[in-house]
Each structure stands twice: as structure tokens, then as C-alpha cells.
């Protein structure tokens, strides 16, 4: 045993770190309603430990599932027996994780001061928090760091505030990383924070926005989960709160909001990846944002950034009926995805959550919209499934770069359409 631990240490693997050797990600097509039901049944077999990366909620949409190596044979037999068509998207999950880890090691080996931050690499929570302090130091008249609460494990919840002065001005809220394993989102958050700071006084749109409004950006919205993805389980999604009476840890923080709470697309099972929690706003990480937005009272836009599947979404998720502002948001989304595609040709779909991907109760933007924040959007960043949550770091800057014009479109629209 001791020899094994030494060997793992040499590989840069901690003895508590979960490995995914031989696990595969399968893309399955559900062609009839019965298929969706069968995939739901498959997901409920806890012994199989199937992890849905894209959920089975509507016909014609691909379903991506990570299947642990010991379950592969059984799952493939099940799919064949029920006449599913499927393909292998990722042959060996651990190979991608090893490449990702090596890429981070290479970035650290290049001697950098904290002011030479590598935006093209993934970073730990400590590295991101340290960089936030540098950003504030470099732009003291524009950027400040605000603590809005503490996580379940007592980590600070930090928000970057971009402001040119004034009190209680109209504000835009952005968050990344509410789902811990979606590393491209925190990386895009860091790049975006730097972009906003650099472009004020240079870019007319950014300057106009910040001359009239404040921007708040929470980069690590789920710090406990994010730290856990670096230390123990790269594919952890939820928070890290203890669930009374269950051996399973954590709540899906994007099913925990008081908007259609407990509805379709969420689960009452604490072992589920989409467990909604014991009650709305049970998670400190969610409650902190709720309290902040309510206390502020003048937040005009909420943009919550996720991955993956290349979509720009707006309310509702918990019901199919169009939101009162559907037409305006649809037109804005259409322009934003067009400007995003103009950068590198990356194609996004857009529409309401319920009618574009699936019904989902308890989401951030539905709560924001129901609480008076008209311009509430969710971005699902790259990719469309080749790498899923394990997007190579070489795609960080291209992803952030193409996302920027879409964000700017939304923020300019908010500026120009006060309410």
C-alpha cells in the first residue's frame, strides 16, 4: 500500500483523489418518449453510478452520460437491447484529466510573478483569489472586492465590484462557477474581469456602461465544490453541505432557488446530481446572492454562466409559458449569439430554458426574473460535447474572447433600456 501511495504521489495524484480510469462518456439519442423514460430508469440505478452530463428531458436532444468502467458493459448491453443509437464521445476520461493536470503543471513551471497571470491555464481557488487582489491593486479607482457571505465550509464568497462612483446605481450581476466542475466558466470569469478593467476608458461601450452602472462579478460562486474538484473529484458539481440522514453530500445550487422549486428537472434524492436541497435557498452560496440582490434593490440584469452546450437561455425554466418579456429577450439573444459566432464561427442556440433544453425548477435566472430583474440570462459555454466539462485549457481564451461581444450586447441593451 505504501509503495502505491508513493507511486501516486509521483504522478501528482493524492491518495484521496478519485480516478476515472476507463470511464467513458457516451452520447445517446432518445428517439421516442419511451427512451427518455428508460434513460431516467438507468440514472436511478445507484449501483451503476451513471453521471448525466446532458440530461434526458426532450426528444431530439443528445444525452451525454459518463459511465464508470465497471458499469460500461452493462450499460451498453442495456442501450443495445432497447435499440438506442449511441457513440463514444470520450474514450477514457482519466486520459483527459491527466492531460489537464499536466497542462496546469506546465503553466506553473513557467516562472511567473502573480502579475503575470496565465489566462490560458486553469487555476485553483487560491490562485484566483490572489489574482483578484492584484486586479484591485492595479485598478483601485475602478475595482474593489466585496465579501457577500461565507460558504458552507467557511470560505469567503468574494465579488468583484466595478464602479466609477455614486451610490446604489443600477447594476449588472454576473456569476461563474456555480457548478463546480464547469472550469471553463471560472476561467472565463477571470478573463472577463480583466477585460472589463482594461477596457474602461478605452472601449466606448464599457466606458458608457460603467459611467452609469456598476458591474458585480462573482467568479467562484461555489468555492467548496470548486476546491473539491481540485483536491478530490474533478467532476464534482454540487455544493459540499451535509445532507441530514444521507451519506450523500451536496445540493445542486442551480436547483435551489425559490422559483418553481422542487419542480421538473430537479430531484428530491440527496444522491442525485440535481438534488434541489431540503428547501429553497438552503445553500449559503445561493442565500448570499439572494440577500445581496434584495438588499441592493437596483440590479437590472443577472447573467449566470455555465457550461457546456453552446446556448444563450432566458426564463422560464420551470414552466413552458413564455415570459412577459419573451419577444424582447429573444431578439436580444439572437443578436448576441450572432455577434458571438462572428468571432470564430462558434454556433449557439438560444431561447427559453424550458423550450430550448429542458424543464428545470429552481434556477438562478428564473428567481431573478420573478424578483423583478428583467434581463436575466444564462450562457452555456463551449463545447457541444467533444470534451464536455473537460474542455482543454487551449480553448479558454478563444471561449472567453467570443463570449465577450455577447456579454457586451446584453450589458449595452440594459444600459439603453432602463426600467
Q: Which residues are catalytic?
A: 380
Which residues in 313-339 are b (16+ Cβ under 10 Å) and which e?
bbbbbbbeebbebbeebeebbeebbeb
Rounded-to-integer distance, Cα 197 and Cα 14, Å = 37
DSSP SS3 for 311: strand
For residue 14, the tally of other CB atoms under 10 A from its CB is: 12
Angstrom CA distances, 76 to 20, 72, 142, 216, 393, stand at 18, 6, 55, 46, 31
Angstrom CA distances, 278 to 162, 268, 397, stand at 35, 8, 38
Angstrom CA distances, 209 to 42, 136, 268, 408, stand at 48, 19, 41, 9
Rounded-to-integer distance, Cα 75 and Cα 82, Å = 11
Sheet holding 24-29, edge to edge: 51-54, 62-67, 24-29, 85-90
Cell of 219: 467568479
Which residues touch 313 (CB under 8 Å, ≥6 apart)? 333, 350, 351, 352, 353, 356, 357, 365, 377, 378, 379, 380
Rounded-to-integer distance, Cα 239 and Cα 250, Å = 5
Residue in the structure block whose three cell numbers are 458591474:
215
Strands 299-307 and 375-381: parallel
For the chain, give percent helix, strand, coil, nearest 5: 40, 20, 40
CB 241 within 8 A of CB 221: no
How many helices, marked H, and strands, marked E, lie in the chain? Answer: 13, 12
Rounded-to-integer distance, Cα 122 and Cα 29, Å = 32
Cell of 1: 500500500
Cell of 198: 482594461
CB 86 within 8 A of CB 181: no
Amino acid at each position: 500500500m505504501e509503495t502505491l501511495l508513493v507511486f501516486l504521489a509521483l504522478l501528482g495524484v493524492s491518495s484521496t483523489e478519485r480516478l476515472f480510469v476507463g470511464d467513458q462518456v457516451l452520447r445517446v439519442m432518445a428517439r421516442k418518449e419511451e427512451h427518455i423514460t428508460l434513460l431516467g430508469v438507468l440514472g436511478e440505478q445507484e449501483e451503476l453510478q451513471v453521471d448525466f452530463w446532458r440530461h434526458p428531458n426532450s426528444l431530439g436532444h443528445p444525452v451525454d452520460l459518463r459511465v464508470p468502467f465497471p458499469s460500461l458493459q452493462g450499460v451498453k448491453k442495456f442501450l443495445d437491447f432497447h435499440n438506442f443509437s449511441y457513440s463514444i464521445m470520450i474514450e477514457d476520461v482519466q486520459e483527459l484529466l491527466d492531460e489537464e493536470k499536466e497542462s496546469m503543471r506546465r503553466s506553473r513551471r513557467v516562472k511567473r510573478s502573480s502579475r503575470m497571470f496565465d489566462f490560458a491555464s486553469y487555476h485553483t481557488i487560491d490562485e484566483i483569489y490572489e489574482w483578484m487582489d492584484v486586479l484591485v491593486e492595479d485598478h483601485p479607482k475602478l475595482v474593489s472586492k466585496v465579501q457577500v457571505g461565507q460558504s458552507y465550509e467557511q470560505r469567503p464568497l468574494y465579488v468583484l465590484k466595478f464602479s466609477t462612483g455614486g451610490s446604489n446605481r443600477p447594476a449588472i450581476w454576473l456569476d461563474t462557477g456555480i457548478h463546480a466542475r464547469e472550469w471553463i466558466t471560472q476561467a472565463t470569469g477571470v478573463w472577463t474581469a480583466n477585460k472589463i478593467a482594461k477596457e474602461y476608458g478605452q472601449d466606448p461601450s464599457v466606458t458608457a456602461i460603467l459611467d452609469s452602472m456598476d458591474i458585480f462579478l462573482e467568479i467562484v460562486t461555489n468555492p467548496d465544490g470548486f476546491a473539491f474538484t481540485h483536491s478530490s473529484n474533478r467532476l464534482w458539481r454540487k455544493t459540499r453541505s451535509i445532507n441530514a440522514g444521507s451519506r450523500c453530500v451536496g445540493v445542486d445550487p442551480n436547483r435551489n432557488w425559490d422559483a418553481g422549486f422542487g419542480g421538473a428537472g430537479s430531484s428530491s434524492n440527496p444522491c442525485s446530481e440535481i438534488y434541489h436541497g431540503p428547501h429553497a435557498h438552503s445553500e449559503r452560496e445561493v442565500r448570499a446572492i439572494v440577500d445581496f440582490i434584495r438588499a441592493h434593490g437596483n440590479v437590472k440584469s443577472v447573467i449566470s454562466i455555465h457550461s457546456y452546450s453552446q446556448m444563450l437561455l432566458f426564463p422560464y425554466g420551470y414552466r413552458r409559458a413564455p415570459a412577459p418579456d419573451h419577444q424582447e429577450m429573444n431578439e436580444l439573444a439572437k443578436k448576441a449569439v450572432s455577434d458571438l459566432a462572428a468571432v470564430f464561427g462558434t454556433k449557439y442556440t438560444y431561447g427559453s430554458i424550458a423550450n430550448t433544453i429542458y424543464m428545470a425548477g429552481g434556477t438562478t435566472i428564473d428567481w431573478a426574473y420573478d424578483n423583478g430583474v428583467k434581463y436575466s440570462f444564462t450562457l452555456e459555454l463551449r463545447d457541444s460535447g467533444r470534451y464536455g466539462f473537460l474542455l482543454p485549457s487551449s480553448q479558454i481564451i478563444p471561449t472567453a474572447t467570443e463570449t465577450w461581444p455577447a456579454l457586451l450586447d446584453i450589458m449595452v441593451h440594459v444600459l439603453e433600456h432602463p426600467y
